[in-house]
Amino acid sequence: MFEEKKLPLSEKLEISDNKNFGWKVKEEIEEGGGKKKIKYVVLTRDKNLRNYITLSNLEKRYYDAKNQIKPLPKINEIALMFLLLLGIIPGVIYISVKKKNIKMVEENNSKMKKEMASIIQEGEQYKR
């Protein structure tokens, strides 16, 4: 018994990520017509794999961690200029708050990427 999932061919990193959890490329297909053709990769995984449940749980943990990665907040230059025109103190406060937010997001993303790498290593053990 097999399960399948379809991913856009443009998501090569995600396809590669899935291979770490027992997924194999079955075929490439095109859907849509005219200019709106989209290429997909169909992945398949045997549900009778010896470590299927473990791989499935690792995959869920991996994507939970991946979904917690956040984009870095940006400093709004217009707001910064306006605050600096009002006085240096509001501009300095704005910059320090933004830098603190950026540092927190970077720390969170780093932690999630380490967890994802750890999960992939664990998945490699069970994939065999």
Per-residue tens of pLDDT for the chain, all 128 residues: 899 998 888 888 788 888 888 889 999 888 877 778 888 889 999 999 888 999 999 999 999 999 999 998 888 888 878 877 888 888 888 889 999 999 999 999 999 999 999 998 888 887 66
Tell whether 60 and 109 lie within a shared domain: yes
> Tokens for 34?
């005219």
Strand partners, 18: none
Q: 59 and 42, same structural domain? A: no
Do 32 and 55 sit in the same domain of this protein? no
Shared domain check, 113 and 55: yes
- The CATH number given to whatever domain includes residue 41 is 3.30.70
Number of domains in the chain: 2
CA 86/CA 80 separation, integer angstroms: 10
Enclosing domain of residue 93: 51-128
Q: What local confidence, expressed as pLDDT, does residue 57 receive?
A: 93
In the prediction, which pLDDT does 78 show?
86
Angle, CA of 54, 116 and 18, to the nearest 5°: 60
Q: Both 36 and 98 in a single domain? A: no
Q: Which long-range contacts (CB under 8 A, 24 or more apart) does 34-38 make?
A: 38/8, 38/9
Structure tokens at 83: 């605050």
- Say yes or no: 30 and 83 in one domain: no
pLDDT score of 128 = 61
Q: Please, are residues 1 and 46 in contact by the beta-carbon 8 Å criterion?
A: yes
C-alpha torsion 9→13→16→22, nearest 10: -90
What pTM did the predictor assign?
A: 0.74
